[in-house]
Amino acid sequence: MKRLKIHFLKALVFSALVLHYSCDADKLELTNPNNLSPDTYFQTASQVQSAVDAVYGSMQTTGMYNRGMWYGNDNMSHENTCNPQQEADKRQWLNFTHDATHGLTEAYWNSCYRGVNKANFVINNVDLINEIPDAFLSQVMKDKYNW
């Protein structure tokens, strides 16, 4: 039994040493080369155009002009009539009792903040856009993107 304890203790010390010296913190932090970052993204005119299009694309979501904004405003103006079988969320709009937990209200604000985030991404990277050579992106287009 004593011999078993000695072998177990040796194995434990050996594995602790191996684990300690085999793990390097620098090797654990992996970067995905497929992920886009501002440093690698704004290289061509099509990349800049897609970033700007994404800002405007935020307005076409369910919470914004695609559905929610019109639906909520129509309900609050009482253009939609309410019948006894109508869903509770529609009644919230008609009675002006909806709050931030209402699905369309949440979708509206999520769409707004996502749009602001995308716009800030483009605005904060104007320097990278201006560094694109004129052969890839003309100065006229750079001026257009520099709001």
Write the burial class of residue 93 (CB in 10 Å: 0-12 exposed, 13-18 middle, 19+ buried).
Answer: buried
H-state helical runs in 33-138? 38-41, 45-57, 68-76, 88-94, 103-124, 126-130
Dihedral pair phi/psi, residue 64, rounded to 5°: -110, -130
Domain boundaries of the chain, sorted by first residue:
36-145
Q: What pLDDT score does 82 carry?
A: 59
pLDDT band for position 69 (cuts 50, 70, 90): confident
As a residue count, the chain comes to 147
Q: Is the pLDDT of residue 10 over 80?
A: no
Q: Quick one: which of 91, 97, 90 has its CA closest to 68? A: 90
CA distances from 27 to 18, 32, 34, 43 (A): 16, 13, 18, 29
Q: Which of 46-60, 73-87, 89-103 has the highest mean pLDDT?
A: 46-60
pTM: 0.64
Tell me the C-alpha distance between 44 and 132, whole Å.
Answer: 7
Q: Is the pLDDT of residue 23 over 70?
A: no
Q: What is the mean pLDDT of residues 73-81?
A: 71
Chain segment 91-147, per-residue pLDDT in tens? 777 777 878 787 788 888 888 999 999 999 999 988 888 888 988 888 888 888 776
Q: Which of 17-21, 46-50, 58-62, 105-109 has the highest mean pLDDT?
A: 46-50
Q: Is the pLDDT of residue 18 over 80?
A: no
- Which residues lie closer than 8 Å to 74 by C-beta, 6 or more apart? 80
